[in-house]
Amino acid sequence: MTIKPAVRISESKLVVKDRTILTGVPDNVMATSGSSSGPVDGVFLGVVFDQENSRHVVSLGALRDVRFMACFRFKLWWMAQKMGDQGRDIPLETQFLLVETKDGSHLESDGGDEENQIVYTVFLPLIEGSFRACLQGNVDDELELCLESGDAETKRTSFSHSVFIHAGTDPFRTITEAVRAVKLHLKTFRQRHEKKLPGIVDYFGWCTWDAFYQEVTQEGVEAGLESLASGGTPPKFVIIDDGWQSVGGDPQEESNDQDEKKENQQPLLRLTGIKENAKFQKKDDPTAGIKSIVNALDASVARNFPDNGCIACMSHNTDALYCDAPGKHNFELLKKLILPDGSILRARLPGRPTRDCLFSDPARDGVSLLKIWNMNKFTGVLGVYNCQGAAWNNIERKNTFHQTKNEVLTGAIRGRDVHLIAEAAMDPNWDGNCAVYCHRTGELITLPYNAALPMSLKVLEHDIFTVTPIKDLAPGFSFAPLGLINMFNAGGAIEGLKYEVKGGAELLNLDDGYKGESSCVSEQRVENYSDELVGKVSMEVKGCGKFGAYSSAKPRKCIVDANVVEFLYDSDSSLVSLSLDSMPEEGKLHVVEIEL
């Protein structure tokens, strides 16, 4: 029996797991198996041209009847996302493309049957030799591949590994496996800058570096800043000194009446002088030039942003730090991020969009909320944001505001929005039920597997949820730790977790090095008709503040560092809370025990 590759070109079509992704694939586009990189469902695409050139653009076929998310470079140093369902919507300079087929179901298949599941396809433009690749769309809904060296003398006719295509039913795993598969094929790209890349010039025509190379005066700095603050032409204050230049403004940066960002301040440390009366000051006195520019910045902010709504960027040095205004920080906000010892309750992974909003545009479509998930050791965290109203404008080549359709957007969250939430479960037979704590309202609810919690947010509003798998200890006794519930990432405070059931029938202890086996989990269930101990939960907690947990039954006793402490129990929400009054000793953790 012949086994067909998961990704292949057949009859001028790009076929992925028996779904057609591209039609009308040209004859000069070739596919090479990616199996040399390991057991992956992927291929490398290459192209052969009739004539050698330093820049080639070729169609890979028409892209229709799918949903995609494109990450494209809208400035030389930044990327943004664009969603759509046809090839013409794919922006120039697309560095990454994720495509979802429309047929199939988003629901998980417990039996492992993938026939009716959504298929995700990743397109990764690569670097091959001295040529870089990127993707773009055209008016005929074709997905185009652009290959360019940046040097008119560096030409080529044949390419074999310009794009890697990988497929799977899990969008996050598909992306990870695709990157892993191409690692062996990636080479350092040393671009020749004898001439600018045509594609870059076409797309970023406004970014003419030569316009930055100008000497400036004190008056020029002040005038430029005032122009920027009032929405006029941004400042271009650059000091030329033996070929070095410091950029003090972004030609496309938009200002608004809320706040402003002082960008690229760090290069001021290398400033050697500022032009005054057609002469530079002494080369050994850089402070005069720095002082002139910083004073002009501060004066402009004071005039145009009276509420001190200014973000100081790239200025983490004493020269700038000693200029921050004491008492004007939002300490209540900072206390939700930072513990008294200066440490932060960091999540374990990069924040990622939830599966259901991967192909929705939370800035433009007027209906979608943005949901971002992350993981701690024993909990998940989910942020929900209403970002509608402003986005990159491909026509005007800048961020623009647009009218929102609705003042309030309504969406929903699920426990499974935290994609890896099952990894935090303390039971291999976990049923999918979660405790969900809302940071904004202080509400605690339980969400059964696949159940949804509706929520509404106004424009620029947000909410943060702590999501924890519920552990069933005995009939009527279930538990889920939440953490320091006054912090944005409450669950990041929990470093250790252990459950004990009366009689030693069950004892689990999870930490970074724990490798549990399902055979150690007992199916014994304990009924409790008195005040006798049924089970105990032991947790190691860093930090201090209000500690919370879900408990289906009121605890018998709560103990912190061997001392019995008072606690509150809300029988309506099943929230148990207690106070950790001080930070633990240096290098140690609080030991919190809750008896049920």
Are 80 and 168 part of one and the same domain?
A: yes
Q: Are 313 and 261 in contact (CB under 8 A)?
A: yes
Phi-psi group of 273: left, alpha or beta (phi > 0 → left; psi -120 to 50 → alpha; rest → beta)? left
Helix (H, G, I), strand (E, B) or coil at 355: helix
Are 225 and 284 part of one and the same domain?
A: yes
Are 282 and 194 part of one and the same domain?
A: no
Are 492 and 394 part of one and the same domain?
A: yes
Joined together, the tokens standing for residue 564 give 């019995």
- pLDDT, tens digit, for every residue of 467-481? 999 999 999 999 999
- Report the CATH number at residue 381: 2.60.40.1180
Are 433 and 531 part of one and the same domain?
A: yes
Q: Is residue 423 part of a domain?
A: yes
Query: Measured between alpha carbons, how far is 541 from 590 in angstroms, rounded to an integer?
Result: 5
What is the identity of the amino acid at 471? K
Q: Is residue 346 part of a domain?
A: no
Q: Is residue 338 part of a domain?
A: no
Joined together, the tokens standing for residue 165 give 């295509």
Looking at residue 512, what is its pLDDT? 37
Boundary (domain end) residue, out of 203, 227, 257? 203
Interior/surface letters 263-291, b for 16+ CB within 10 angstroms, e for the rest: bebeebeebbbbbeeeebbeeeebebbbe
3-state SS, one letter per residue, for 449-502 = CCCCEEEEEECCCEEEEEEEECEEEECCEEEEEEEECCCCCHHHHEEEEEEEEH
What is the identity of the amino acid at 505? A
What's the pTM?
A: 0.73
Are 19 and 33 part of one and the same domain?
A: yes
* Strands of 575-580's sheet in order across: 471-474, 477-484, 545-551, 575-580, 568-570
DSSP annotation of 583 reads P
End-to-end CA distance of the chain: 59
133 forms beta bridges with 147
Joined together, the tokens standing for residue 41 give 């469902």
Looking at residue 380, what is its pLDDT? 97
Q: Are 238 and 245 in contact (CB under 8 A)?
A: yes
Are 30 and 143 part of one and the same domain?
A: yes
Please enumerate in sequence order all residues whose Cβ is within 8 A of that of 576, keeping only pairs 6 or more positions apart, or say none: 548, 549, 550, 551, 554, 555, 558, 567, 568, 569, 570, 594
Are 534 and 435 part of one and the same domain?
A: yes
Query: Measured between alpha carbons, how far is 284 from 288 in angstroms, rounded to an integer?
Result: 10
Please enumerate in sequence order all residues whose Cβ is within 8 A of that of 532, keeping only pairs 6 or more positions apart, or say none: 502
Joined together, the tokens standing for residue 438 give 């809302």
pLDDT values of the chain reduced to their tens digit, one per residue, 596 residues: 456 778 899 999 999 888 899 999 999 999 988 765 444 568 899 999 999 999 999 999 999 888 999 999 887 778 888 999 999 999 999 999 999 986 654 445 444 455 567 889 999 998 888 888 999 999 999 999 999 987 888 899 999 989 999 988 888 888 888 877 766 555 433 333 334 556 556 655 544 433 333 444 556 666 666 665 555 544 443 333 333 333 334 433 433 333 444 555 545 544 444 444 334 344 444 455 556 666 777 777 777 666 555 666 656 655 566 567 666 678 888 899 999 998 999 999 999 999 988 999 998 888 999 999 999 999 999 999 999 988 877 777 777 888 888 889 999 999 999 999 999 998 888 999 999 999 999 999 999 998 999 999 999 999 999 999 999 999 999 999 999 999 999 999 999 999 999 864 444 433 433 333 332 333 333 444 457 889 999 999 999 999 999 999 999 999 999 999 999 999 999 999 999 999 998 889 999 999 99
Boundary (domain end) residue, out of 321, 338, 366? 321
Return the closest-CA partner of residue 163 out of 14, 269, 316.
14
Looking at residue 154, what is its pLDDT? 87
Are 135 and 284 part of one and the same domain?
A: no
Q: Is residue 343 part of a domain?
A: no
Q: Is residue 345 part of a domain?
A: no
Query: Measured between alpha carbons, how far is 553 from 477 in angstroms, rounded to an integer?
Result: 6
Are 385 and 241 part of one and the same domain?
A: no
Query: Measured between alpha carbons, how far is 171 from 327 in angstroms, rounded to an integer?
Result: 45
Are 534 and 395 part of one and the same domain?
A: yes
Q: Is residue 562 part of a domain?
A: yes
C-alpha torsion sign, points 547, 551, 553, 557: negative
- 192-195 contact pairs (CB < 8 A, 24+): 192/130, 192/149, 192/150, 192/151, 192/154, 193/150, 194/150, 194/151, 194/152, 194/153, 195/150, 195/151, 195/152
Boundary (domain end) residue, out of 159, 174, 203? 203
Q: Number of folded domains in the chain?
A: 3
Q: Is residue 326 part of a domain?
A: no
CA distances from 27 to 31, 132, 143, 159 (A): 11, 22, 15, 14
> Taking the CA of residue 513 as centre, how many other CA atoms within 13 Å lie in the half-sphere pointing to its CB?
0
Q: Which helix (H) or strand (E) holds 2?
A: none
68 forms beta bridges with 84, 99
Joined together, the tokens standing for residue 299 give 């004066």
Q: Is residue 283 part of a domain?
A: yes
31 forms beta bridges with 45
Looking at residue 220, what is its pLDDT? 62
Helix (H, G, I), strand (E, B) or coil at 439: coil
Q: Are 449 and 433 in contact (CB under 8 A)?
A: yes
392 CB-contact burial (10 Å; exposed 0-12 / middle 13-18 / buried 19+): buried
Please enumerate in sequence order all residues whose Cβ is within 8 A of that of 563, keeping only pairs 6 or more positions apart, or say none: none
Joined together, the tokens standing for residue 489 give 């990432």
The residue range of the domain holding 23 is: 7-203
Looking at residue 498, what is its pLDDT? 95
Are 15 and 137 part of one and the same domain?
A: yes
